[in-house]
């Protein structure tokens, strides 16, 4: 399995094209530094939550959209080496100014413990949630079974990754996004679909499938799950 660096950002909706251009310039460098894949996905179907949601995770305003993105590396050592190269390479400093508020960007390193499928999708479901450390194995077993159902209904790839290097931020971070409590970890996950239409149909089938209801209940607090649908801007 690989190692994942996950990101969530609030980007002014009016800056979508500028964000795309900035990403187009930066992503080849990330690949050169060691990333095996980098994806930027723009918020398309991101609901408001009662307790938390993607908007609150990055303090997004009404004029901003949420971007869900990730980079994949062969392992954590490759991720660490890539970050060192980024900090030292003058080409990174020469990139245009980021067209969003970097102080509200949340990021962290995640260790995949479920990874099924290998396809690249044209639509992405992104998710963050808190899971008690004591329930990690129960959650992994549940997610593994869920992955099989999602793939059966058309998903191209299903990934669940456990927070491994999740720093505290001054304004925002993954811990606060998931309303993490004592004794919990943060999970960063995504499902890739061939289209939004396939995704919508699959979710309907999943809601009616008894295999999606584990005996004994869910091993996490679903009320604090953050989720949404995203349309990839770049997949390099």
pLDDT of residue 139: 97
Which residue in this structure is represented by tokens 């969530």? Answer: 8
The 3 state secondary structure assigned to 198-212 is HHHHHHHHHHHCHHH
Q: Give Cα 47 distance to the centre of its chain.
A: 16
pLDDT of residue 1: 60
User: Cβ neighbours of residue 13 under 8 Å, at least 6 residues apart?
Assistant: 63, 64, 65
**Euclidean distance between the first and the last CA atom of the chain, given in angstroms as a whole number:** 19
CA gap 107, 129 in Å, rounded: 14
Split the chain (236 residues) into runs of 10 and give each run's mean pLDDT.
94 97 93 96 97 98 98 97 94 92 97 96 98 97 97 98 96 98 98 98 96 91 97 95
Q: Rounded to 5 degrees, what are φ and ψ at 56?
A: -65, -30
CATH number given to 3-235? 3.30.70.100
Whole-model pTM above 0.95? yes
What is the rounded radius of gyration, in angstroms, for the C-alpha atoms of the chain?
17
∠ at Cα 158 (156, 161), nearest 5°? 150
């Amino acid at each position: 399995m690989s190692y994942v660096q996950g990101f969530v950002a609030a980007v002014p909706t009016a800056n979508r094209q500028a964000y795309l251009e900035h990403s187009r310039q930066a992503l080849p460098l990330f690949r050169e530094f060691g990333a095996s894949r980098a994806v930027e996905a723009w918020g398309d179907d991101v609901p408001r939550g009662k307790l938390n949601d993607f908007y609150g995770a990055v303090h997004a305003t009404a004029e901003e959209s949420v971007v869900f993105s990730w980079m994949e590396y062969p392992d954590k050592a490759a991720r660490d080496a890539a970050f060192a190269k980024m900090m030292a390479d003058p080409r990174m400093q020469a990139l245009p100014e980021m067209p969003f508020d970097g102080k509200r960007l949340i990021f962290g390193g995640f260790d995949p413990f479920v990874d099924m499928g290998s396809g690249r999708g044209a639509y992405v479901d992104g998710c963050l949630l808190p899971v008690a450390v004591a329930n990690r194995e129960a959650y992994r077993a549940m997610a593994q079974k869920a992955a099989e159902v999602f793939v059966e209904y058309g998903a191209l790839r299903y990934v669940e990754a456990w927070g491994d290097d999740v720093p505290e931020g001054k304004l925002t971070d993954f811990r606060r996004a998931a309303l993490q409590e004592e004794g919990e970890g943060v999970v960063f996950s995504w499902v890739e679909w061939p289209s939004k239409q396939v995704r919508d149909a699959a979710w309907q089938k999943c809601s009616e499938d008894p295999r999606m209801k584990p005996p004994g209940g869910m091993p996490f607090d679903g009320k604090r799950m953050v989720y949404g649908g995203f349309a990839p801007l770049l997949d390099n």
